[in-house]
Amino acid sequence: MTRDTAAAARQKARIVLIGTGGTIAGRGASPVNTSAYDCSVLSIDDILADLPVADSLADITTEQLFQVGSENFGNVQLLQLGKRIASLLERDDIDGIVVTHGTDTIDETAYFLHLTLKSPKPVVVVGAMRPPSALSSDGPLNLYNAIVVAASRLAHGKGTLVVSNDEIHTARDVVKTNTFKQDAFKSPYGPLGFVVEGKPVFYRLPARPHTVDSEWSINEIEALSHVGVVYAHGGMNDAIVRAILDSGVKAVIYAATGNGNVAVSIVASLVEARKRGIHVVRGSRTGGGVVIRNAAQPDDLYDWLVTDDQPAHKARILMMLALTREHCTRKLQDVFWRY
Ligand code: GLU
């Protein structure tokens, strides 16, 4: 039997379910504890055991890689998770991956995977806003839907996806936008599709390069530079900027007000940063829209960058990857415009 006929004869996709913790692995004292509970206490096997219908969807094997709230994810975890997924995706007997993850930084991890995995096979990152112990927990259905998507041929070649609240989001666009509601995940241009009655439906595609078309490969990255984020506000002085410049960062993302406006009291410290070899990336704290190069500030003169439309925490991921290959400002700016 050829590999193609074997695949056609096989009824179910082979999925690896990787547990990393989060609310989807949480447990509250009572069913009414929808927002106050112990995070990252259920194993990935416990979570799957509570979803017996998943057996009908795929042949699932499990791995417990971490057991932490995602606010604790650092570059070490990103690299370890990415390398583990890459080695699984190389295997002919694995068709897709689902990662259970805390929702706090799920958008950062998913974006990192989206840009560094060299495979068209589906990778779906999923979390929950309510623990499985809570009334109307979103965990079981989110996980079910994530497995549906990872097992589907329709998800091939679409990069890393985040499935939540019946929606399928591209990792590039998705952000967490709410502290407790189940529809916390939004993409500024809308989700790619939905999962309806156990069937994925796609309506659009990611426009920017990812996975097999990106310039980064997880297997070639051994370390990531430290990139800091500064959040602007009214009445700001430059103390926090100066502190971050002395912390060993290679770049700072400045989440400026509005369309990348930088207060007069801050400009000198950011100009000095660049003179000290630290890249400055002007972004926006608004959560939407594009920061225009050379508009609110003379980026060419200061040798600064702009984020395009990325929020600061996702611009940080992109900048860390960009710095693995480039140091020239023009090329770094192209990375923001391309991805
Ligand atoms: N500490 C959790 C986290 O891992 C809380 C959020 C969640 O998973 O929903 O991000």
**293-310: pLDDT as tens digits:** 999 999 999 999 999 999
Do 121 and 149 meet the contact criterion of CB atoms below 8 Å apart? no
| Per-residue pLDDT tens digits for 260-297 | 999 999 999 999 999 999 999 999 999 999 999 999 99
Mean pLDDT in residue range 82-109 = 98
| Per-residue pLDDT tens digits for 170-209 | 999 999 999 999 999 999 999 999 999 999 999 999 999 9
Question: Is 133 labelled as part of a ligand binding site?
Answer: no
Mean pLDDT in residue range 28-46 = 96
Which residue among 40, 71, 77 has the greatest number of ligand 1 atoms within 8 angstroms of its CB, and so is best to mutate? 71
pLDDT score of 2: 52
* Confidence at 158, pLDDT banded by 50, 70, 90: very high
Q: Give which of 41, 45, 26, 44 is closest to 133, Cα–Cα.
A: 26
Question: Is 103 labelled as part of a ligand binding site?
Answer: yes
| H helices present in the chain, as ranges | 3-9, 44-49, 75-89, 106-116, 139-150, 239-245, 264-275, 299-302, 312-322, 329-338
* Ligand 1 center–CA 93 separation, angstroms: 31
Higher pLDDT, 133 or 1: 133
pLDDT score of 5: 52
* Confidence at 14, pLDDT banded by 50, 70, 90: very high
* Ligand 1 center–CA 9 separation, angstroms: 39
* Confidence at 3, pLDDT banded by 50, 70, 90: very low
Active site residue 23: yes
Amino acid at 323: L
* Ligand 1 center–CA 179 separation, angstroms: 10
All structural domains of the chain, each given as residue ranges with its CATH number in brackets, are 10-213 (3.40.50.1170), 226-338 (3.40.50.40)
pLDDT score of 11: 79
| Options 103, 105, 160, 307, the catalytic residue | 103
Q: Alpha-carbon distance 130 to 25, whole Å?
A: 10
Instruction: Copy the structure tokens of residue 45.
Output: 């096997």
Residue 7: is its pLDDT beyond 80?
Answer: no
Residue 6: is its pLDDT beyond 80?
Answer: no
DSSP string, 291-319: PPTTTSS-HHHHT-EE-TT--HHHHHHHH
CA distances from 297 to 218, 267, 293, 300, 334 (A): 35, 9, 8, 9, 18
Q: What is the mean pLDDT of the chain?
A: 96
Atom of ligand 1 nearest to the CA of 23: 8
Active site residue 61: no
% the chain with pLDDT above 70: 97
Residue 246: is its pLDDT beyond 90?
Answer: yes
Sequence-distant (6+) residues with CB within 8 A of 97 are: 15, 16, 17, 18, 85, 88, 89, 121, 122, 123, 124, 150
